[in-house]
Structure 1
Amino acid sequence: MALNRLLLFIAFLLHIRWSRTNPIRLICDRRLIQKYVAEATDMEEQARQCEELPLLPEPVQLPLVGFALRDWMRMTNQAKGQEVLHALGKVVDGAAVAREVVRQGCAVGPLQQLYERASSFLLQLRNFRAQEESSSQQLDGAPQVALERNPRRIFQTYSQLVRGKLRFLFQDLWRDSCAGEAPGAT
């Protein structure tokens, strides 16, 4: 697991260097989240078209990413961020396991892309939260998870997370941090 974390950190550094994005740009440029929603949908579609995806030998924990908008709006941005970070962590862990199992075929590329994108989001949001908040609070209750052996569910979970909670979190953070001064704010 330590090797996975080291590789995750290296991938993040390379991503930051190549893309020259920073956490504020990730939040403040509203065009980026639309790009990431489209990417997530494309990855999910690519995985859906792969016929030879084997089941994972052991189930992975995936977050339940559905939510009630009314409950979501009552939460603080810190609680929302913590929930999204936890969900992204579970997706990254699940993608890492799936990459070890699926080493050939049409899903190798999308799995790598999923792992890299989810890892990048995870690290950038952690960095953003570190800049915005000096204290780290834990979630009141453990977020719900489901055990899953089908790699396609990892793609579906990530896509739902990006289209739902992550997009809404970005909107809330944008409103609090960037309104009126961000590129793509219109």
Structure 2
Amino acid sequence: MGNRLTNESSKNVIEEDYEDLDMRSPGLFALLVMLLSYIKPEKSTPVQPMCDIRVLDKYIREAKDAANTTCEEACTLPGNITLPKTNVNYREWTTKDPGTKAAEVQTGLALLAVAVQKAQNMTVNSNMLYLIEKSYSNIRSITQMVRSLSTPDVLNREPQLLTTFNTRTLRTIFHVYLNFLQGKVRLFMLNTAACNLATS
């Protein structure tokens, strides 16, 4: 009997507590909404683009490995592939404005991406396919890196006309890719102010 009374009284107390919580919940919610409305998120400053030349050097090493691995005879393609010529006149390059340099680099990378993708569609050798796919992925990453260092007006420029030539060998494709990275891409990144910290 005593236990029953005790249990019933405990039950009543618990029910009252729940009722109190239910009554307080809307008030607590309203208070939280009011507090949150007063808290204004700070305006985040845009992150300045930074490039680390060591990242490009890693891609250059991988391009060099691909060029050295590819044989001339076993990797002839059934169709022509268009590639950009990679020779750089350093004196002429230094006289170009940053926008022109960026546009040339982006156009060259776009040509290389198309060339590597075409080579992928023409290749059946599984070992070569791995190198091609890896190179294509790296070209896309390098393109993003170059774009992040370019101003909006540069990104909207018309593609630059580059001198091109045709090839039918994977070896030539990889060598052109390597030369382009070591030449115009590296020069462009070293001339970018954001790279100075990474190279110091």
Q: Percent identity?
A: 20
Stretches of structure 2 that go unaligned for 5 or more consecutive residues are 1-46
Asked if structure 1 preserves the Cα contact closer than 8 Å seen for 2:53 and 2:195, the reply is no
Whether 1:172 and 2:191 are equivalent positions in the alignment is yes
Stretches of structure 1 that go unaligned for 5 or more consecutive residues are 1-21
Q: Could you tell me which residue of structure 2 aligns to residue 7 of structure 1?
A: none
| 1:4-19 alignment, distance < 5 Å | none
Asked if structure 2 preserves the Cα contact closer than 8 Å seen for 1:47 and 1:110, the reply is no
Cα-to-partner distance string for 1:114-171 (whole Å, 9 max, x where unaligned) = 1111122123323432xx23352235x6211101121211101100001111111110
**Given the two structures, how large is their TM-score scaled by the length of structure 2?**
0.68
Cα-to-partner distance string for 1:23-59 (whole Å, 9 max, x where unaligned) = 934x2x12222222212111111224x752132x321
Q: Could you tell me which residue of structure 2 aligns to residue 126 of structure 1?
A: 147
Change (3 A) 1:154 1:178: closer
Q: In structure 2, what residue type is equivalent to 1:151?
A: L
CA distance in 2, matches of 1:65, 1:23: 30
**The residue matched to 1:134 in structure 2 has which SS?**
helix
CA distance in 2, matches of 1:138, 1:23: 25
Q: Which runs of 4+ in 1 moved over 4 A?
A: none
CA distance in 2, matches of 1:96, 1:102: 10
124, 137, 152: which is aligned to 2:157? 137
Change (3 A) 1:23 1:102: farther
Q: Could you tell me which residue of structure 2 aligns to residue 8 of structure 1?
A: none
Whether 1:35 and 2:58 are equivalent positions in the alignment is yes
Residue correspondences, number? 153
Task: Name the structure, 1 or 2, with higher relative contact order (CA <8 Å, separation 6+).
Answer: 1
Asked if structure 1 preserves the Cα contact closer than 8 Å seen for 2:56 and 2:142, the reply is no
CA distance in 1, matches of 2:74, 2:126: 7
CA distance in 2, matches of 1:58, 1:93: 14
**The residue matched to 2:83 in structure 1 has which SS?**
strand
Whether 1:68 and 2:89 are equivalent positions in the alignment is yes
Asked if structure 2 preserves the Cα contact closer than 8 Å seen for 1:54 and 1:150, the reply is yes
176, 186, 200: which is aligned to 1:157? 176
**The residue matched to 1:58 in structure 2 has which SS?**
strand
Q: In structure 2, what residue type is equivalent to 1:69?
A: Y
CA distance in 2, matches of 1:32, 1:124: 10
Q: Could you tell me which residue of structure 1 aligns to residue 7 of structure 2?
A: none
Measured on the aligned residues, the alpha-carbon RMSD in Å equals 2.2
Whether 1:100 and 2:121 are equivalent positions in the alignment is yes
Q: Could you tell me which residue of structure 2 aligns to residue 24 of structure 1?
A: 49
